Amino acid sequence: MISVFFKTYGCLANVADSELLAKYMRGLGCIVAENESEADLIMINTCAIREKAEQKLFSYVGRLTGYIKNKPHLKVGIIGCVSSYRARYFFAKFPYINFSFGAKNDLNKLKAYIADLIIKIESEKQLIGSNVPFKRIKDKNITELVEKKNLKIPEGSKTVSDFKPGRLRRSVINIMTGCNNYCTYCIVPFVRGREKSFEMETILERVKSEIDAGVKEINLLGQNVNSYCDPKTGADFATLLEKIAKLDGKFWVRFTSSHPKDTSKKLLQVMAKYPEKLCAWIHLPLQSGSDDILKRMNRTYTSEQFLEKVNWINEILPDATISTDIIVGFPGETEENFKQTLDILEKVKFELSFSFIYSPRKYTKAAEMEDDCSYETKLQRLEYLQKRQKEVSRETHDALVGKTVQVLVENVMTNGMFFAKTAGNIRVSVKPVSIKSDDKDIVNKFVMVKVVAAREALVEATVV
């Protein structure tokens, strides 16, 4: 039996791809290993969004030498965004890399390749201990190889879920891939390719089977979910959400990310219509509060238009939580530009923000822009922004104290508390002492809790 280990870097889109492949490989009889030492095959799903992510990846791949020495039949494959554009470098630098598959390509080709590969690994494993040398695999163009050899996904192959006991049954599903927006700082359109929506029928079938398997939280993913368009019928994202919301069962649906330019009233109204299923949480990446920077980022909205979308959210979904992504130190960002970003933070009071120092990326327009802002200044801005965000997060959490809210419990933390989230994605630490002895098993369940205290990162609550 082949054991595969997935090392996944980056965003939920990569998590979704790795999960999909893991389920497929389980269906082919493989075991999904917990660590590298148990594996016959290591699949590294790579992230190219910022330089730091790539550096982490290279140091990880370098550290694999030890495993290779101990297990000469071990295969290593790199998939995802970095393999879209640095595969050659990988092969040159790490001779033990066996195959690469870029994020732009059709995953079905990789699935067909994997089915063939595991048969090869199985026969190699039988040679362990003999003197027969292993054949070196170096598959640089899997799509071409699969077409040439006419490799196919085995007929009747199934996907097999494996839910860990004591953990929330969550499913992350890519509803589309790629991006057409070409924000000037972003490598995604180059490494993931043009935007492509998956068929609604297929997505709905998957969601249904996940719910039947006991999944309580469905995460729909796309670089820009609001531009989802069913390739068969032309139906939009709001329609997809409504169809999912109408499915039987008790479950929550979340989605990321929403590009502010495409956030529509129709979408918000559908969310308001099904509050039991569609979580009132919008991740709305701002990136910058300066109109000048937004223009140079090619975000195609102004700060005023962003605030207008926030007003729509507050009107249509008054209890909604809004979170965001912010980039500091974009080329040419002035102190004034940065203050404009802080200004939006104060106006919107994001519950959470993910903030990053601008990282120049290959192929992107911004990488060629003049940048006279020092790294120290950028770092200071980031630290200031993050400090202020923590205070704002705390304020938004304070407003919850004393309220009774529904949460979905995810797991038990090392401190013995239960970790849960509200529909608005607010993290909740639930005290176990308050749970009746016959009701201790609350993981993967919806429970009502009373918020008793607020902190920066989460709120504390007791079961009611």
Which residues contribute to the site for ligand 5AD (CB under 6 A)? 49-50, 185-186, 285, 287, 325, 327, 356, 358-359, 361
Provide the CA 5 distance to its chain's centre, in angstroms.
Answer: 19
Q: 400 touches which of ligand 5AD, ligand SF4, none (CB within 5 to 8 A by kind)?
A: none
Provide the CA 442 distance to its chain's centre, in angstroms.
Answer: 26
What is the closest distance, in whole angstroms, from the C-beta atom of residue 181 to ligand 5AD in the complex? 11
Task: State how far the Cα of 338 lies from the Cα of 30, in Å rounded to an integer.
Answer: 50
Q: Does 259 bind ligand SF4 (CB under 6 A)?
A: yes
Record the tokens describing residue 282, joined without a space.
């919008």
What is the closest distance, in whole angstroms, from the C-beta atom of residue 303 to ligand SF4 in the complex? 17
Stretch that binds ligand SF4, among 73-81, 174-182, 198-206, 417-425 (CB under 6 A): 174-182
Stretch that binds ligand SF4, among 51-59, 106-114, 177-185, 315-323 (CB under 6 A): 177-185
Cis, peptide link before residue 209, omega less than 30° from 0: no
Give the CA distances from residue 150 to residues 120, 142, 153, in Å, rounded to whole numbers and listed in that order.
16, 11, 10
What residue spans of 351-441 are helical by DSSP H?
A: 375-398
Question: Residues 86, 88, 93, 94: is their CA dihedral positive or negative?
Answer: positive
75/299 with CB nearer ligand 5AD = 299
* The one among 171, 181, 226, 341 contacting ligand SF4 by CB under 6 A: 181
What is the closest distance, in whole angstroms, from the C-beta atom of residue 394 to ligand SF4 in the complex? 28
Name residue, tokens 């196919």.
Answer: 152
Binding mask 360-389 for ligand SF4 (x = CB under 6 A): ------------------------------
Task: State how far the Cα of 52 lies from the Cα of 354, in Å rounded to an integer.
Answer: 15
49/81 with CB nearer ligand 5AD = 49
Is residue 184 a contact partner of residue 296, using CB atoms and an 8 Å limit? Answer: yes
Record the tokens describing residue 271, joined without a space.
């969310």
Q: Does 188 bind ligand SF4 (CB under 6 A)?
A: yes
Record the tokens describing residue 184, joined without a space.
């000037």
Total residues binding ligand SF4 (CB under 6 A): 10
Task: State how far the Cα of 204 lies from the Cα of 248, in Å rounded to an integer.
Answer: 12
Stretch that binds ligand SF4, among 64-72, 186-194, 272-280, 423-431 (CB under 6 A): 186-194
What residue spans of 157-290 are helical by DSSP H?
A: 188-191, 200-212, 237-245, 265-273
CA dihedral 159, 161, 162, 168 (to 10 degrees): 160
Local structure of 113: helix, strand or coil: helix
What is the closest distance, in whole angstroms, from the C-beta atom of residue 44 to ligand 5AD in the complex? 20
Stretch that binds ligand SF4, among 96-104, 181-189, 272-280, 382-390 (CB under 6 A): 181-189
337/429 with CB nearer ligand 5AD = 337
Q: 182 touches which of ligand 5AD, ligand SF4, none (CB within 5 to 8 A by kind)?
A: ligand SF4
Instruction: Give residues in contact with ligand SF4 (CB under 6 A).
Output: 179, 181-183, 186, 188-189, 223-224, 259
